Structure formats: C-alpha cells, structure tokens
Structure 1
Amino acid sequence: MNKDKLILAIETSCDETSAAVVKNGREVLSNIISSQIYIHTKFGGVVPEVASRKHIEVINEVVEEALEKAGVTLEEIDAIGVTYGPGLVGALLVGLQYAKGLAFASKKPLIGVNHIEGHISANFIEHKDLNPPFVCLVVSGGHTFIVHVKDHGEYEVIGQTRDDAAGEAYDKVARSIGLGYPGGPKIDKLAKEGNENAIKFPRANFHDNSLDFSFSGVKSAVLNYLNKMNMKEEEVNKADVAASFQKAVVDVLTDNAIKTCKMKKADKIAIAGGVASNSALRRTLIEEGQRKGIEVLFPSPILCTDNAAMIGSAAYFEFIKGNISPLNLNAKPNLKLGER
C-alpha cells in the first residue's frame, strides 16, 4: 500500500500570505490565509512594497499555524511546495526564500509551483474524481486564460488576454463608479440591482479566429459613458452600469470557453481564479453548458482566491512525477503556464 504524501505549501504571489498542508493532492488538512485587503483598500489597489513587508511579518506564524491545524510536524511532511511565479517579484521572493530555507534545514524536497497551475489544481481538491483531459477557464485579477488541460502539468493555452485581465477591468470599472477595492465582488453585488441590457458595451472579437480576450475596450467604453453622462449633467445609474459591464465580460468569457470545448471535443469545463466566484459567470456558464451538454465545475469560493491549498495540490502531482526544484530556484514574476 502506497504511503500518503503530505505537502506543506506556501503562497505569497500577491497580497495573501497562505500556508497549507495537503494530503495526496486532494485532501486539505489545513489552509491558513492571512489577507491584506484591509491594508490595500485605502490605496485603491495592491501596493507591492507594502505587500512584501506584510508577508515578512506574518509568514512564520502562518506556516506554524498550518502545521498545527493539520496536526502534523515538519518531520512528517514529504515535500515543500511554493509559488515562484507569476506574481509580484518582492512578494514571491518572501515565500520562496522562506520555503527554500525550510527545505534546506529539514532536508525536504522543494517543489516550485506555477501560480496559474495552482488555480487550475484547485478543482482537483473540490472534485475528487476529476482527472484530465478537460478545459479550464482561469479568470483572476492578473490572469485570463483558456487552457486545455491534457494531463497533470501538461497544458495547451488556447486563449489569453491581450491587454487587461478580466479581474483588472473589474477593479478599474469599480473605482470609476465609486465602489472602491476590491472591485469584483462589489460589482457582482451591485449588478444584481441593475438592468444588464440597459447599456450596450462592446465585446471584443478577433478576426484571426483567435480565442484571445481583450477587456481594455469595454473598460474604456464604461469610462467614456461616465464622462458623457457627466458632461450632460445626467444622473448615472450605477447598478445599470455594473450589470451591463458585467454582462459584456461574462458573455465573452462564456462564448470563448464553450467554443474551446467544441474545438477540443471536451465535455467538462472547470473555472478557476478569483473571478470564478462571480455569480453571473457561474450562472451563465452553467446554463450554456446545460444547453451544449457540457458539465461545468468550479471550486468553493475559498479555493478561488489565492491560497496555499491549491499550490499544495499542484506540488503533489509534480512531486510524484519526480519534478524536484533546485535550492537556487529564483522567482519568475512573468512565468508562463507550462514553463519550467
């Protein structure tokens, strides 16, 4: 009988300091997240230097709490997984250097994990019987991808954003209508009070048969609409703006995801990333999936945000394949999916 494998995982790619213990890539024994949202809200977005300092302050406490809650010691851990890209370079370095020191001192293998691969792997935690191949739509504040997951660690990027990520557009639009940061949840909530067909915002489609995304156009269209209303001294219905903007984004995400499933003859699509918590995206994809005979899967909200449990899942599948990272592994803020 094969021994259970325990991964201690660390995630510090942006403004969450997280540590988790994951068993066999599927079972979360602990998942501790120290959020910095309350700090960055007053700045209207994440300040990299502030994020890095906060990671340094809390990382030791977060890792100790993860081990304690899981009821295991460092000696019982089989490997240490850590995000090394993409992300904010200073934030990444805090988690990576801590993990490298821990791996060296404890003589445990180090597993460097791609943050985007971690988001995809969150679905392996939520759906215990999920195995590749399937299509995954990764939508977060910094990333928007459609990926064909061929196997664990083997990906084909079908489409990606050519400018703003979807979550980034949400934050900018939220700021423009006075909702503040973080924008995604606030627009999603306000949109439920508005008419999604009140304003016709553009949907970007490329003429080269590409399934790439572009969200700078719809973001600019919202800003132009607000400026015109201001110049005419007409009152803006913020709920209608939020609902109409959200519909434009969700329509494009859904259309491209369904097209990818048809192209790859896939009957499953998984959603991942912070925007995967969005109620309109979930509802629209599920409805369209039912019409097309495609099963739509998504993680629990806690696994959609940045967290170490998803990094532990991805690290496990790398570990069992023997993909061990050297102790001179460096942070790669622009790391591509599938790149080593």
Structure 2
Amino acid sequence: MSQLAEVLSAQKTLEESFIKKMNALEAQIQTAGPAKDTVAKVAEEFRAFRELVFGMLGLLRRQISECAQQIDEIETRSRRKALIVQGVAEAASEDCTKVTLDVLNSKLGLGLTASSLKVCHRLGQANTNHHRPILVKFASVEAKMKVWRAKTGLRGSKLALKEFLTKTRQSVFGKARQHFGMRSCWTLDGVIFIKAPDGSRHKVMSLDELGLLLGRYPRAQDTSTSADKRATEVLGGLKGTRKMSGSQSTKRKTWDEEKMAQAIKFVREKKMGYLKAAQHFQVPRTTLFRLCQKDEQSPEVAAAKKIN
C-alpha cells in the first residue's frame, strides 16, 4: 500500500508541475516580442521542460511496473495451496468436493479426506459444450504438493492438473511454451521453468525476463515453415483422394481441413499433444495421430486409410 501511495503522490506532483510549467510557457509565448533572444530563450526552456516530462514519466512507469510485480508476487503467494483440475465430468447439482476427492484418490492413489480441501468449486459459467475446470484450494501446502507430485498418474487419461497461475504469469507461460515447446516449459509454486535448446534451465516470472531469453534463444525460422508445408502436403493428398472417392468421401468428412492443418502443425512443433490438439481444434484424434505419424508414407496412403 505504501508503494501505491507513493505512486499516487508522484503522479499528483507531476500534474501540478506540468500545469505550472505549461502555464508559464504559454504566458511567455503570448508576451514574446520579435526579438531573437526571446524566441531562443523560450525554445531552450521548452527543451528543458520536455526532458523533465520524459524523465518524470519514465520514473512513473518504473514505479508502476514495480508495484505491478509486487502485486503479482502477493497474488502468487496467495495461490500456493491451489490447483486446477481439468477434464472432470460435470453433472447438475453435483457435490464438487466429493467429486474431486473421488477423482484424486482413485486416479492418483491418494488418501485425501474432506478436511484436506479448503475450497472446491467450478470456474466460469456453466456450459453444455464442455466441462468447466475445478479450482481446488488445499488446507496445506503439503497436501497440495502431495497431489502435484502424483500428477503423473493422470497420463493417458482426459484429466489434467495445473497450477492456478496469475493472469500475468499465465500469459508468460503461454508465450514460453509457444516459443520453446510444451515439453520444455513447466511451473512449480508459480515460477515458470524453461529448458533452453542448449540444455540449460532458466526460471522466469515476468514478460521482461522472458524477453531476455527469447533474445538469447531465437526460434528457428524454418521450423514453423516446414511444419506448415508438411501439414499442407498431408491435407493436399487427402483432398485429392477424396475427390477420387466421390460422394462417399464427402459424406464421411466430419472435420475441417484448415483446423486439421493447424492441429498437425501444433503437434509436430510440440506445442500440444495429440489429445489436447484434437480437443482444441475439434478434429478426430485417431485421424490426427495417423496423419502426424505418416512421415514414411505418401499422402495418398494416409488418405486411403482415413477414407477406408
């Protein structure tokens, strides 16, 4: 709170200084005569005033940035005991605590009780198109870490666990995974860890820190291009085979070609796994898997498998 009060005080002082100086300059300009020395004096004072304004604005920006970082730190600490569970089927009038305990205990082999959870509820408004994630706040950090360390038991299922990151850190995490790949980025206690292409590990908590890493490890330009090309080739061959099959292929087409191309690209760039990419782009997972695994096959062979 003291930092915010300092920012507000600095802002008020700046406003008063700007108004006073601008009024003085305006008065000088209105009363200035044709003499060259008067014009030169006004111009010099204006340059000094401009430097003052830019300096003060830079100071204000730094103070606001520091305050934002401190607020983000406080909010992150308040979320240390929380996790988000995704993929749990939602039912009307459900007991969210009981459902969550059943899922965690059965899937992870834990012995959690109702006293282990402090808060448990769905996030967002109810939607019939998808199951809302569950926010779980545990009674202790130990209980949360017990679940977090056992999350590997969810592999191969539709369930997933993730940390309850702040909006700022979620944005940083998303950009990091987009640049370095999903398997090279993870979180622990709100801190984002990144494994660089050279094998070194780094931790970041802000966009500024991530920006330094992005500069040190630029993304290869041909990766995205080659992924796009491969996806286009696969779908191009698939489209040609569909034309040969006539109305039967049209009838069996249940997904969008553009979405499938995007899904193939994301999987091959390791931005998403098969399951998540299929759900995100709304394409069949089995078809996506076959197309992504067809590097040793021709597009026609993969297309024939899809149609048959």
Q: TM-score, normalised by structure 2?
A: 0.29
Looking at secondary structure, tell me which structure has more helix per residue.
2
Looking at secondary structure, tell me which structure has more strand per residue.
1
Q: TM-score, normalised by structure 1?
A: 0.27
Q: Which has the higher contact order (CA 8 A, sep 6+)?
A: 1
